[in-house]
Amino acid sequence: MMSFFKKIGKCIANLFITKHNTMTNIVLFGKPGAGKGTQAEVLKEKYDLIHLSTGDIFRFNMKNDTELGKLAKSYINKGDLVPDEVTINMLKSEVEKHTDANGFLFDGFPRTTPQAEALDAFLATKEWKVTATIALEADDEVLVQRLLERGKTSGRADDQDEAKIRNRYEEYNEKTAPLIDFYQGQGKFHSVNGIGEIEEVTSRLSEVIDQL
Ligand code: ADP
């Protein structure tokens, strides 16, 4: 006969399994300026997810002049990606702060294949996984204009100079675009039109999320 404690143990294990299976971890994917941050602000409330934006975390550290901020600044202000090891470690420690979350909305991460592999491996240690990757699609020229507009008010050095913006697109094409194949290979890649009113784009994203 199964002892009482074994039964309790099994119950707890089942609870965990249920929690893992119901966790929704979404990677918001797209070129700089595609609207990931704007949409994440809405979606995090709607689906009760923890929004982790690596760009925001780097900017917070830059503003507070931390060691991480000083390091990141030298890359970000040129429009280059911050090295993988630094970014991956930072992301992991942010996730660790919210292990009781219903799920995460990853915004701006992963941006390279090693980052995507590290994310899968890290989530697996918790028996979690990426549920879906959703890309916001938009034409490069529209995006460059959006970023230059944003640069007028955001104070972001990387948004004020067209050469730096173009460099971010080169980084995207070279290092981030291969992730489309990576997630397509896992059957997790979705994309929606990122052009339109904010609410319109939110409903396109919600349609995908509601079917997961
Ligand atoms: P955008 O998508 O508009 O470029 P972000 O706020 O997502 O803005 O990122 C700003 C900058 O922060 C990037 O250009 C890059 O230098 C750095 N960064 C953000 N996320 C990552 C990442 N996952 N890997 C490497 N660098 C990153």
Query: Range with the lowest mean pLDDT among 11-20, 88-97, 101-110?
Result: 11-20
pLDDT at 10: 57
Pocket test residue of 54, 73, 77, 176 for ligand 1, highest count of atoms within 8 A of CB: 54
**For residue 3, what pLDDT band results from cuts at 50, 70 and 90?**
low
Query: Whose alpha carbon is nearest atom 9 of ligand 1?
Result: 55
Query: Whose alpha carbon is nearest atom 4 of ligand 1?
Result: 32
- Which tens digit of pLDDT belongs to each residue from 182-200? 999 999 999 999 999 999 9
- Which tens digit of pLDDT belongs to each residue from 100-117? 999 999 999 999 999 999
pLDDT at 16: 57
**Total-model pTM:** 0.90
pLDDT at 22: 77
* Strand, coil or helix: 180: helix
Ligand 1 proximity of 176 Cβ (cutoff 6 Å): no
Longest dimension (CA), the chain: 72
Mean pLDDT of 40-67: 97
Query: Whose alpha carbon is nearest atom 12 of ligand 1?
Result: 55
Counting Cβ atoms within 10 Å, is residue 192 exposed (0-12), middle (13-18) or buried (19+)? buried
Question: Residue 18 in contact with residue 127, Cβ under 8 Å?
Answer: no
Q: Which atom of ligand 1 is nearest to the CA of 147?
A: 3
Mean pLDDT of 3-7: 64
Just list the catalytic residues: 36, 111, 150, 156, 168
> Cis bond leading into 110, ω under 30°?
yes
- In 3D, which of 150, 126, 146 has the Cα closest to residue 138? 146
